[in-house]
């Protein structure tokens, strides 16, 4: 016999949590409600209990004055943009509070000596994302619902830049029966140019290749990369796009749809500029960059230091970054392909030292960074983080290892979500 559904509850939301959910208190325990805003009286349906108590939002009984009509009809189902119902200025204020609270509570840091710089906002809350990953589910391209693999089919995505916004629905129809051989579709745009990466369920088969060739021929994409699970991507058309490197227009970054690139093209320059301001490089400095990607920070930093070692685990990213440097005549960057912490340990064993260290780890952070940064002698360190919890834990470790947190700046590259890029500036 199926268990009876729990009775709905009425609760008042007190604050927003690190994962973007509204938090209420029920029977002395925190209750997390996605889509709910502070101050709202809401009716919710409790979900099966786990480590964290969650409930699905059933109705907003007393809305917050900060609530707005979401600019996307899928906002209540899609897991991509969890704060679309919150006014943009309130989103920025909430992100600032969440990062500061995480540094104090999780990182156990005193922020009284820290210089908190104004947040660099994106300027618009839709049409900003130049890359996305959609999943082929049930005969259509879809995003996943929040904390689930429940597909949410999408025709148009207002979060994407204009060149990509209407592409999901068009690709669903264009791929047709070939879609069943595709696991994910990676979208990438630079200006009006579009590139696609098709992650396949198995080897490249003629139906998929023919469908991809048609996408290029019909102008839906400049190029397509076919990526089987065994590796060895096949290129059709011109899937590698070029973009000017932030603060280095003489260098053309090479972007692939199947490799990491910053999601917000126009806002990335603010991120790079802020990082260099905190790092304060000088012409005689030796610098180390960990998690370098295709060179988003690399070339702007290289122009201001004597030498730079750029470390990145992705072989395609290293290939694209080093090719971009060669084409522009950049001679003071040495690219190293490998796990960032493992390479740093190797440099430490060799007795290498660096004046500056820039780290831009993935959302999970870099737990082993602190002792390595200390051992490598870095005088200044800038940490770029997109998850408040991970960056707070890593910041606490860096302070324990002898660094002092001097400055913090947020760069809002992910409007309508709880995600934010944070720049932490440390001095040894």
**Which pair of tokens denotes residue 245?**
């490197």
Per-residue pLDDT, averaged over 321-325, amounts to 96
Share of the chain above pLDDT 70, in %: 99
Q: Is residue 1 pLDDT above 50, yes or no?
A: no
Which position among 72, 78, 81, 386 bears the catalytic label? 386
Distance between CA atoms of 266 and 123, rounded to whole angstroms? 10
The answer to whether domain 9-67 and domain 131-241 are alike in fold is yes
Give residue-wise pLDDT tens across range 109-161.
999 999 999 999 777 788 999 999 999 999 999 999 988 889 999 999 999 99
Q: Which fold has domain 94-123+264-427?
A: Rossmann fold (3.40.50)
CB atoms closer than 10 angstroms to residue 50: 7
* Those residues with Cβ within 8 angstroms of residue 296's Cβ, 6 or more apart along the chain or in another chain: 245, 246, 253, 261, 262, 268, 271, 272, 360
Whole-angstrom CA distances from 397 to 106, 278, 290, 372, 400 are: 11, 19, 17, 11, 5
The answer on pLDDT for 5 being more than 80 is no
Give residue 258's pLDDT: 84
pLDDT grade for 291, boundaries at 50, 70 and 90: very high
Indicate the angle between helix axes 88-105 and 388-400, nearest 10 degrees.
Answer: 40
Boundaries of every domain in the chain: 9-67, 94-123+264-427, 131-241
How high is the pLDDT of residue 207? 94
Q: Residue 50 — very low, low, confident or very high, per pLDDT cuts 50/70/90?
A: confident
What confidence score (pLDDT) does residue 4 get? Answer: 61
Q: What is the pTM of this model?
A: 0.92
pLDDT-based confidence at residue 49 (cuts at 50, 70, 90):
confident
- pLDDT of 385 above 50: yes
Q: What is the pLDDT of residues 168-221, one digit of tens each?
A: 999 999 999 999 999 999 999 999 999 999 999 999 999 999 999 999 999 999
Architecture of domain 9-67 in this structure: Beta Barrel (2.40)
Length of the chain: 428
Q: Residue 226: pLDDT band by 50, 70, 90 thresholds?
A: very high
Dump the DSSP string for 34-103.
TT--TT-EEEEEEPPP-SS-EEEEEEEEE--TTB---SSTTTTTBSS-TTTTB-HHHHHHHHHHHHHHHH
pLDDT of residue 221: 97
Residue 174 φ/ψ, nearest 5 degrees: -70, -40
Is 157 a residue of the active site? no
Q: Helices H, strands E: what count in the chain? A: 10, 22
pLDDT band of residue 41 (cuts 50, 70, 90) is very high
Residues 18, 21: Cα–Cα separation, whole Å:
7
Is the model's pLDDT at 305 over the cut of 70?
yes
E runs forming strands in 78-181 = 115-116, 131-137, 140-144, 151-153
**pLDDT tens for residues 62-92?**
999 999 999 999 998 898 899 999 999 999 9
Measure the CA–CA gap between 87 and 383, rounded to whole angstroms. Answer: 29
CATH level 2 (architecture), domain 131-241: Beta Barrel (2.40)
DSSP for 247-269 reads TEEEEEEEE-TTS---SBTTTHH
Mean pLDDT across the chain? 94
């Amino acid at each position: 016999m199926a268990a009876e559904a729990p009775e709905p509850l009425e609760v008042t939301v007190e604050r927003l949590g690190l994962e973007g959910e509204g938090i209420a208190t029920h029977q002395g325990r925190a209750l997390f409600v996605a889509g709910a805003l502070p101050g709202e009286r809401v009716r919710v349906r409790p979900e099966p209990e786990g480590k964290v108590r969650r409930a699905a939002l059933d109705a907003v009984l007393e809305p917050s004055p900060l609530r707005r009509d979401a600019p996307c009809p899928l906002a209540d189902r899609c897991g991509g943009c969890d704060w679309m119902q919150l006014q943009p200025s309130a989103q920025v204020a909430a992100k600032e509070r969440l990062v500061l609270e995480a540094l104090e509570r999780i990182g156990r840091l005193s922020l009284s000596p820290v210089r908190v710089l104004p947040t660099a906002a994106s300027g618009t809350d839709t049409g900003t994302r130049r890359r996305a990953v959609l999943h082929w589910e049930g005969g259509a391209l879809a995003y996943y619902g929040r904390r689930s693999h429940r597909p949410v089919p999408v025709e148009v995505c207002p979060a994407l830049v204009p060149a990509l916004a209407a592409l999901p629905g068009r690709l669903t129809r264009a791929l047709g029966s070939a879609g069943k051989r595709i696991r994910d579709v990676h979208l990438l745009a630079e200006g009006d140019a579009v590139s696609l990466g098709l992650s396949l369920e198995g080897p490249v088969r003629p139906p998929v290749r023919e469908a991809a060739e048609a996408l290029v021929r019909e102008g839906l994409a400049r190029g397509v990369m076919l990526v089987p699970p065994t590796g060895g991507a096949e290129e059709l058309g011109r899937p590698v796009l070029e973009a000017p490197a932030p603060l280095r227009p003489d260098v053309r970054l090479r972007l692939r749809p199947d490799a990491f690139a910053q999601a917000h093209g126009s806002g990335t320059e603010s991120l790079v500029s802020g990082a260099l301001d905190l790092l304060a490089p000088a012409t005689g400095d030796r610098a180390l960059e960990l998690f370098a990607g295709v060179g988003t920070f690399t070339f702007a930093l290289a122009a201001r230091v004597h030498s730079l070692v750029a470390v990145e685990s992705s072989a395609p990213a290293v290939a694209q970054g080093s090719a971009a440097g060669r084409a522009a005549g950049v001679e003071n960057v040495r690219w190293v392909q490998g796990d960032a912490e493992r390479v740093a340990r190797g440099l430490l064993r060799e007795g290498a030292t660096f004046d500056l260290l820039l780290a831009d780890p993935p959302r999970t952070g870099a737990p082993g960074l602190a002792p390595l940064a200390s051992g490598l002698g870095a005088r200044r360190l800038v940490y770029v983080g997109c998850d408040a919890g991970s960056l707070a834990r890593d910041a606490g470790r860096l302070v324990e290892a002898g660094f002092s947190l001097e400055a913090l700046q947020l760069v809002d590259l992910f409007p309508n979500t709880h995600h934010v890029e944070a720049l932490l500036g440390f001095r040894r």
